Structure 1
Amino acid sequence: MRERLFAAAERVLAREGAAGLTNRAVTEEAGLAKGLLYSHFADLDDFVAQLVLDRFEAIAAEVAGLPERAGSGEVRENLTGAALALLGTNGPAVAAAALSRSAVAERVRQAWEGGAPGPGAVEEAMARYVEAEQRLGRMAAEVDGAMLALAITGTVHHLRMHGSALPDDNPELVRRLVAALVTVP
């Protein structure tokens, strides 16, 4: 039921933006009774916070295996894939919903401080991946893996929070970013 509500919320966000995200809009989109959302969440802020945390947990799980992929595939493509996972399909819309509600932003911040997977988990996986590729000689030893990971995740976070003028261009922007930052021998 949670996933059904989350998927409905993402569709509402994509179509109507953060202002259109209401209990009624989500439950109607999901084809459920109006009060059902409150059977699973304390209030709309709790729902949106849980949506954000759920999506980041899925992203972190997807990217967690990146260091084990060292030595296979193309370095730039591996990093681009991780960055695109962080951006997500509805990343900017979900981020906008979180930012539009101060209580949500605070709940998410507290959860991340408490150890819930967030952008830091993706950054850490990227840094470990770069270190593993360096050990294999597929990246120069002088590359600062932590700073490279920060630059990529920070830029993707910016795109996630603000989008670009042409959101469909975000994947190409990420590819260009990684190509500009990552040199391979």
Structure 2
Amino acid sequence: MTNEGTHEDERPLTGAALTRARVLDAAARLIGTVGLVRATTKEIAREAGCSEAALYKHFRDKEDIFVRVLRERAPRLAAAVAELPDRAGQGTVREHLEAVVMVAVPFYQQSLPMAGGLLASPELLAAHRRKLDNAGPHHVSSRLADYLRAEQRLGRVAADVDPDAAAMLLIGGCFHRAFLEVFYAGEGPAEALRPAALDDFATATVRAVLGGIQAPAA
């Protein structure tokens, strides 16, 4: 989440930009607490301290707000994986994959409450798909697979590995970890989250994946 009233460069927001930021912050809070369906534009405006008319000056509808919350208030998973193919051959495969895990788990943790309401509404889900215009969630594993293919060409990933399956395996593990975090909300049994710390989970998960895909010399 961003700090209310500031850009990434920490300059204070004013006027329309401040109103827009408050609407997104309010929407993110409400979607995470009452769910996407109950987070109406009226409630979002009330939470943001503005009128619905002011809200509609910045966003077309609730779906537009939802998309912007995902793009601007959640960890930037899509951006993180989009940059990976250009980094093939730099650093280590392990370091790159661990970095993906460290962004993916928090992203899915914040997205799950929103996605739950979206999936429960066929009409809203259909509208969301149309607005994505083929830029859907599959791009995360697809771009990660592109990175693994690039490393494969450099001999740093085993030649007989399917990059798409390996990418899906890693992203799927991150999604399941996030689901457990959201489901138990800190009240689960001791064995629910193993390893307990996210950085330990990233290390262990990437080690398990690399055990099956990394070339011996790498």
Which band: TM-score by shorter chain? 0.7 to 0.9
Please, which of 107, 126, 130 is the counterpart of residue 106 of structure 1?
126
Aligned to 1:180: 208
Aligned to 1:91: 111
Which residue, out of 117, 139, 146, partners 2:157?
139
Report what 1:63 is aligned to.
Answer: 81
Question: Do the aligned partners of 1:60 and 1:121 also contact (CA within 8 Å) in 2?
Answer: yes
Task: Choose between structure 1 and 2 for higher RCO, CA contacts under 8 A separated by at least 6 residues.
Answer: 1
Tell me what 1:15 maps to: 33
- Helix, strand or coil for the counterpart of 1:72? coil
Structure whose CA Rg is larger? 2
Aligned CA distance change for structure 1 residues 63 and 167 (closer, same or farther; 3 Å): farther
**Offset, 1:126:** 0.8
Checking the alignment, whether the CA contact within 8 Å between 1:22 and 1:44 is kept in structure 2 is yes
Gap regions ≥5 residues in structure 1: none
Partner of 2:56, secondary structure, is helix
- The alpha-carbon distance between structure 1 residues 182 and 11, as it changes in their structure 2 partners (threshold 3 A), is same
Alignment of 1:21-170 (within 5 A): 21-49=39-67, 51-52=69-70, 58-87=76-105, 88=107, 90-112=110-132, 114-116=133-135, 118-158=136-176, 162-164=179-181, 165-166=183-184
What TM-score results when the alignment is normalised by the length of structure 1?
A: 0.74
Deviation of 1:39 after TM superposition, in Å, equals 3.5
Check the 8 A contact 1:49/1:104 in 2, yes or no: no
Q: Say which SS state the counterpart of residue 25 (structure 2) adopts.
A: helix
**132 and 49 in structure 1: CA distance in 2 versus 1, 3 angstrom threshold:** closer
For the structure 1 residues 98 and 85, does the alpha-carbon distance in structure 2 shift closer, same or farther, using more than 3 Å as the test?
A: farther
User: Cα distance 1:139–1:45, how it changes in 2: closer, same or farther (>3 A)?
Assistant: closer
Query: Structure 2: how far apart are the matches of 1:182 and 1:75?
Result: 8
SS in 2 for 1:90: helix
Query: Percent of aligned pairs with the same residue?
Result: 31
In 2, Cα distance between equivalents of 1:25 and 1:163: 29
User: Higher helix share goes to which structure?
Assistant: 1
> The residue matched to 1:39 in structure 2 has which SS?
coil
Q: CA deviation at 1:24?
A: 3.1
Mean Cα deviation higher: 39-48 or 29-38: 39-48
Q: CA deviation at 1:49?
A: 4.8
1:114-158 deviation digits (Å, cap 9, x = unpaired):
233x32221122111112222333222222111111222344445
From the superposition, tell whether residues 70 and 142 of structure 1 become closer, same or farther in structure 2 (CA, over 3 Å). same
- CA distance 1:106–1:52, shift in 2 (3 Å): farther
Q: Which runs of 5+ in 2 are unaligned?
A: 1-16, 187-192
- Three-state SS of the structure 2 residue aligned to 1:182 is helix
Tell me, in whole angstroms, the C-alpha distance in 2 between the residues paired with 1:8 and 1:150.
33
